[in-house]
Amino acid sequence: MTNKDLANLIFPNITKTIEDYEKEYPKRNLPEGAIVSRFAPSPTGFMHLGGLFQALIDYVIAKNSNGVFYLRNEDTDKSREVEGAVELIMHVLNHYGLTPDEYEFDSKTIGNYGPYIQSERKEIYHAFIKHLIEIGRAYPCFCDKNELDLMRDNQETMKIRTGYHGRFARCSRLTVDEAIQKIKNGEKYVIRFRSNGNFDNKFEFDDLRQGKLYLNENDIDEVIMKSENMLPTYHFAHIVDDHLMRTTHVVRGEDWLPSAPKHIQMFEAFGFEAPKYIHTPLIMKKEGESLRKISKRKDPEARMSYYEELGYPALAVIESLMTIINSNYEEWHTANPDKKFTDFTFSADKMSTSGALYDLMKLDDISKNIISKMTKDELYKESLNWSITYSESLKNIIEKDPEYYKNIINIERVQEKPRKDISKYSDIENLIWYMYDDIFYNKEKTYEWKKITDKKEISKILSTYMNKYIDLSDKEVWFNNIKLMCDELGYASNMKEYKKNPENFKGNVADVSTVLRVALTSKSMTPDLYEIMSLIGIEKIKERYNKIREEF
């Protein structure tokens, strides 16, 4: 019996050959230098920051080079599959504007290199495994879990590198006849790749981020097909896929780097050119003075849902990631404020060689800037959309009177240095609630009085203002009136004079304005008081001032 007989016994119905598939998925017709990248998540849970980080690099390098960015669903580990994970991945990519050029979703396939779901590619993998068996580079292994555990224990006691290699690779020495007999006897088996490496040899591996590395050759006979469902393992499936989908660049977490030697070996076994690799750094966070890896379990910001729930604009999250993807992104962005992040030329060698530090404060800053540049209509639209899913109360506020809401968020927006106090849509309600009587009167609030705290004095300021000076016809008139009131009540209307002789006055115009502001909003810090007063209107201002005076 020959290897061919063995291959036919295992895959009796596989008739297509590698050559057939090469023809079916020919080299892509793309301009010179175009990069084909892929995001290849396993649908095993929520989408996390590290995933978006990788997808963003994939997207940028493909767009930079007029290439193709595709999504592949790596679902061969059925036991770890989580329902809804694929929907979430697709949602996140779309939300962040990283929609792939090719993908399969919702029974729709876009692109000519599919299926893009690994579990639908079983026949293809089998053809490739069949070929490896025929040429003697793969074999069935009948060792069960107990035997493998025992082997590992022995290796550990003998202080030998663990794994199915060298003399431990017992089934690699079975003859074809023995293997065929065992299969015919109904023994369970997996398929292993027959490695031809020597662990003591090093070979040169060029990682686009880390440069030239010297890695040990692989000598482990890795499992490439599991016995359950005859599905391939990641190690094998992605070799076939990256080749047939004509991937030029693989961007994946650096936790895969130790497996690279076996992947390279598999590409070689088929005579395929391996893609270029960018192994990405871990995403780190600051904790006190030290840095640690962002944890999917411990850190809420590791989940992409965190950013959507809080209402960060998608672009803010993208830009915050771009700043850690390439150290020169920020400088470039400052010099080219109107360009899109896809116009930036990504360089793998400008990625951090250690971990990538993700800083939420930085995200806030970036986000504040982005929101400050939105027009009132844009911010209205974005915040309304967000509120529909995440905040019933903001939604009610907005829908009650959209024009009023737009005017509120427009305060200090159209000016050279627009306000920058909103970093996410969930900040808004807390910044504007006092503009609404129904909320204002029903809310537990503390009046943040500053210098003037005496109730009688406050009352006097408010009544004098209401009786004689309130005038919102124009900002200059409004302020002038406040100054006139200061003169009447013994406060300095002129700051210079006040600074010269503070003892001559009860306080100054800023102290008086603060009383007007706090009495109206309860807050000592608000955007422009004149605009707030104009929007609330004289009637309602008076109502609020009178109420306070009654409460005193």
**Binding span for ligand GLU by CB under 6 A among 40-48, 292-300, 405-413, 488-496:** 40-48
What's the min distance (Å) between Cβ of 73 and ligand GLU? 9
**Strands, E, within 93-186: which ranges?**
103-105, 108-110, 138-141
CB atoms within 10 A of CB 350: 13
What is the identity of the amino acid at 140? P
Does position 243 interact with ligand GLU (CB under 6 A)? The reply is no
What is the end-to-end Cα distance of the chain in Å, rounded? 102
Q: Which is nearer to ligand GLU, 120 or 457 (CB)?
A: 120
Per the document, the length of the chain is 552
Choice between 19 and 206, CB closer to ligand GLU: 206
- The H or E element containing residue 357 is strand 356-357
Judged by beta carbon, residue 73 or residue 367, the one nearer ligand GLU is 73
Considering only 38-46, 192-200, 311-319, 325-333, which stretch makes contact with ligand GLU by CB under 6 A?
Answer: 38-46
Q: How far is the CB of 176 from ligand GLU (least distance, A)?
A: 33
Size of the site for ligand GLU (CB under 6 A): 9
Query: Does residue 252 belong to the site contacting ligand GLU (CB under 6 A)?
Result: yes
Q: How would you class 454 by CB atoms within 10 Å of its CB: exposed for 0-12, middle for 13-18, buried for 19 or more?
A: exposed
| Least distance from ligand GLU to the Cβ atom of residue 135, Å | 25
Q: How far is the CB of 263 from ligand GLU (least distance, A)?
A: 9
Task: Give me the phi and psi of 239, to 5 degrees please.
Answer: -65, -50
State in angstroms the smallest separation of the CB of 42 from ligand GLU.
4
| 234 versus 530: smaller Cβ distance to ligand GLU | 234
Asked if 46 interacts with ligand GLU (CB under 6 A), we say: no
Measured CA angle at 47 (ends 42, 49), to 5 deg: 115
Cα–Cα distance, 165 to 169 (Å, whole number)? 5
40 sits near ligand GLU (criterion: CB under 6 A): yes
When asked if residue 42 is in the footprint of ligand GLU (CB under 6 A), the reply is: yes
The SS3 assignment for 161 reads coil
Residue 234 in contact with ligand GLU, rule: CB under 6 A: yes
Question: What is the per-residue DSSP string for 205-218?
Answer: EEETTTEEEEEEPP
The kind and range of the H/E element at 253 are strand 249-253
Report helix, strand or coil for 236: helix
* From 35-43, 271-279, 373-381, 501-509, span contacting ligand GLU (CB under 6 A): 35-43
Identity at 314, one-letter amino acid code: A
CB of residue 250 vs ligand GLU: minimum separation in angstroms? 6
Region of 37-45, 99-107, 180-188, 438-446 interacting with ligand GLU (CB under 6 A) = 37-45
313 near ligand GLU, judged by CB under 6 A: no
Cα–Cα distances (Å) from 169 to 161, 226, 259, 300, in that order, read 13, 17, 18, 43
User: Cβ 53 to ligand GLU, closest distance in Å?
Assistant: 12
Q: Which is nearer to ligand GLU, 25 or 234 (CB)?
A: 234
What is the C-alpha separation between 300 and 230, in angstroms, rounded?
37
One-letter amino acid identity for 268? E
Least distance CB 129 / ligand GLU (angstroms): 19
63 vs 238, which CB is nearer to ligand GLU?
A: 238
Q: How far is the CB of 253 from ligand GLU (least distance, A)?
A: 6
| Candidate list 6, 14, 41, 137; residue touching ligand GLU; CB under 6 A | 41
Q: How far is the CB of 409 from ligand GLU (least distance, A)?
A: 40
Check residue 259 for interaction with ligand GLU (CB under 6 A): no
Distance of CA 287 to the CA centre of its chain: 20
238 binds ligand GLU (CB under 6 A): yes
Q: What is the CA radius of gyration of the chain?
A: 33
Residue list 496-525, contact with ligand GLU (CB under 6 A): none
Beta bridge mates, 214: 204
With respect to ligand GLU, which residue has the nearer C-beta, 96 or 380? Answer: 96
**Contact residue for ligand GLU among 74, 102, 219, 222 (CB under 6 A):** 74
Residue among 122 and 252 whose Cβ is closer to ligand GLU: 252
Unique residue bearing structure tokens 């959209």: 402
Q: How far is the CB of 120 from ligand GLU (least distance, A)?
A: 16
Residue type, position 11, single letter: F
Judged by CB under 6 A, the stretch of 100-108, 132-140, 191-199, 248-256 that binds ligand GLU is 248-256
Beta carbons within 8 Å of 298's beta carbon, 6+ residues apart: none
Q: Buried b / exposed e across 375-398, counting CB within 10 Å, b at 16+?
A: ebeebbebbbebbeeebeebbebb
Query: In this complex, which beta carbon is closest to ligand GLU, that of residue 278 or of residue 532?
Result: 278
Residue closer to ligand GLU by CB (options 279, 544) is 279
- CA-angle at 170, arms to 239 and 181, nearest 5°: 90
CA nearest neighbour of 527 among 422, 377, 387, 376: 422
> Minimum Å distance from CB 118 to ligand GLU?
9
Q: Determine contact, residues 227/188, Cβ cutoff 8 Å.
A: yes
- Binding residues for ligand GLU, per CB under 6 A? 40-42, 74, 234, 238, 250, 252, 256
